[in-house]
Structures are given as C-alpha cells and as structure tokens.
Amino acid sequence: MDRLRSNKWCPLRSSHNGTRFRSYIPLEPVHLHDVYFDRENALMDQGIYVRLRNGEWEAKVRQAGGLINSQFAEFQGFDAVDGLVRRAFSASSESASLHQLNSIAEFKTERQKWDIEEFEVVVDLTDFGHTVGEVELCARVERQPEEREEDCKRNIRDVCVTMDRRIERFMGKHRQAFPPLRSGRHVEPISKLSAYFAWKKNMEEMERTSSRDGNS
C-alpha cells in the first residue's frame, strides 16, 4: 500500500467569493485518461477499483465510507496492482492476473486543483459531460515489521476516521464554498465512474430506440 486517501464528493459553487480561507493556492490543471478494469465485477464487488491512469497502473481499495465520503488504500505500479488482483481472486478460489482483466470504462477528465488550508480541492469535468467536486486528504501509514495484522488494520481505520473528521470540519467551517447536502436544494454528487455507467446505459438505450424507430 502506497498511501491512504480520504475524499468527500461535494456540490459545487460557481466561485469562492465570500469565503475566508486561511490559504488558497491555485494549482496547475491536469488532464487524466482513465481506463478501468475488472472481470464480471469481481473486484468492484470487493471495493477494489483498478485503472490505467495516463499509462500508469493504479488501484484503490475501499477501507470505509459510502457513496459521498470514502476512504481508500492506494496502490501504484504494475507489480503492486497485479499482486493485489491475484490476492483478490485467490480469496474467491479463482485465479486472475492484471492482464486477464477486461476494460469496463474509459474516459478523459480535465481537473482543476487548489491547495486550500492543506486540503486538496478538485473539480473534474469529464469528456461525457459530468462535473463533480471533491475534497481530499492523503496520509502514509507505514507498517512496522513486528506489527500484527489486526493492529495494522486498526491503525488504518483510526487514520481514516481522523482524515474524514478533518474534512467534515473543514467543509463545515466553509459552508459558503461547500454547501451541505439538503433535500431539494442540491443534486447529490456522484463519482465519475458511477456517472459514466449511467451515461453509457442511457446512450445504449437511445441507440436501441433509434434502431427500432429506423426499422419500423
């Protein structure tokens, strides 16, 4: 595991006017090309998300949280991700390597980034028209050679809880920039991958409808 990441999807404001950030540093925008891989949802059902991002292998393993706020352990590099995939399939009495997975999603993203009070705030715009904001924190957890597995997992959980609480306090302090989710006032944000699957399903339904109309 390379690091832990805690993130929370958030509704978007058109600007940060009126907010009083202690520090506000615009960062260079980045362009992402993501290809996600799985095999019959075997990985995602375990909370494992494998992708090729700008030509580099990455994986995220959900540690806690739900659809809006999540905590992940992150792995980078072919060897680390391939080992994770092999372990995930061996747990279900199957076998598979990274090269035996299938592409399940592919899209590009333009990402705007800011460093705000030591939090990374991003706004993503995908090539299929989905926009979402996110507040993130990262931390590294080093496992000691003599540390027991259960103690390591407990340490990871504690770090995840701490990061999530820090994000909640930060967003609560700056409600003008990060409005709380309230029924009927803001559309609940969803991840890019979930939005992609919904968009793809809608496009396939439109194509089937168009095909039926053309044959009638």
Structural domain boundaries in the chain: 3-209
In the predicted model, what is the mean pLDDT of residues 142-162? 82
* Residue 187 CB partners (closer than 8 Å, separation 6+): 11
* Percent of the chain at pLDDT exceeding 90: 54
Distance CA 32, CA 111 (A): 7
CB-based contact 73:193 (threshold 8 Å)? no
| Burial annotation 47-75 (CB, 10 A radius, 16+ → b, else e) | bbbbbbeeeebbbbbebebeeebbbbbbb
Place of tokens 């950030």: 21
Closest listed residue to residue 111, CA positions, set 214, 34, 206, 211: 34
- Above 60 in pLDDT, residue 119? yes
- 5 falls in which pLDDT band (50, 70, 90)? confident
Tens digits of residue pLDDT in 15-71: 555 567 888 899 999 999 999 999 999 999 999 999 999 999 999 999 887 767 889
| More confident: 172 or 107 | 107
| Element (DSSP H or E) covering residue 33 | strand 24-38
Burial group, residue 166, by CB count within 10 angstroms (0-12, 13-18, 19+): middle
- Above 70 in pLDDT, residue 12? no
* Residue 58 DSSP SS3: strand
Looking at domain 3-209, its CATH class is: mainly beta
